Amino acid sequence: MSIQGKIVLVTGASSGIGEATVRELAARGATVVLGARRTDRLEKLVAELRAQGATAEFQALDVTKRDSVADIVRFARERFGRLDVIVNNAGVMPLSPLEALKVNEWEQMIDVNIKGVLYGIAAVLPVFAQQGHGHVINTSSIAAYRSIPTGAVYCATKAAVNFITEGLRQENAYVRTTIISPGVTESELAHTITHEATAKFIDDYRKIIIPADAIARAVAFAIDQPDGVDVNEIVVRPTAAN
């Protein structure tokens, strides 16, 4: 089955990579279900997609709440009869040195970046098992492959995403899994940084950046493969990046 006609749920769909992914998949004929906290943005985006002839729905979603994630998966399945793909894309990146002791931000990264992905997996696995097929795509980061100053917790959360995804792949022969690891990409992630010196450093670091639709095309590539082909990991970064 190609992208055409697939039912795809995207979390963190109100901006950045999530929004770009929704636009790309809808343009290729997928039916998209959008989830995020900022429903005003989702409503506007869905109206735009429908005006272009796409089939799109949205629902408020907080990935830190297991019931919220389960609800949107149930909504997608009840509305369209099945769910083919979940893109666990919601994420936060409030970088800071450990000595800044921003413990609340550490907990937020764990809740969104790790537990949010796990809640997504928990919600779709029974559906995929009953269907006999499904695809879990998790947005990771190049930060998953090595720790950097100010990024200890963020890098750890993304490394966890990689290991969780690989474990899921090994455990389930009927589930396709894909890790998408973006380099510096156009998004609102940097807006969550509250540590002033880190924010300034990241502003300089983000002078070399790729558009969000570059990541969206990678997601589409993974989905578009034949059923027996599983693209497990894609790293996408600026050409000029170190």
Which among 9, 129, 10 has a CA at the least distance from the CA of 78? 9
Which among 232, 242, 223 has a CA at the least distance from the CA of 184? 242
| Element holding 164 (H helix, E strand) | helix 152-171
As averages over each run of 10 residues, the pLDDT of the chain (242 residues) reads 92 96 98 97 98 98 98 98 98 94 97 98 98 98 94 97 98 97 81 78 74 97 95 94 72
For the whole prediction, is pTM greater than 0.85?
yes
Q: Give the integer Cα–Cα distance in Å for 235 and 171.
A: 23
pLDDT confidence of residue 1? 58
Token pair, residue 67, equals: 């019931």
Query: Catalytic residues, which ones?
Result: 154
pLDDT confidence of residue 159? 98
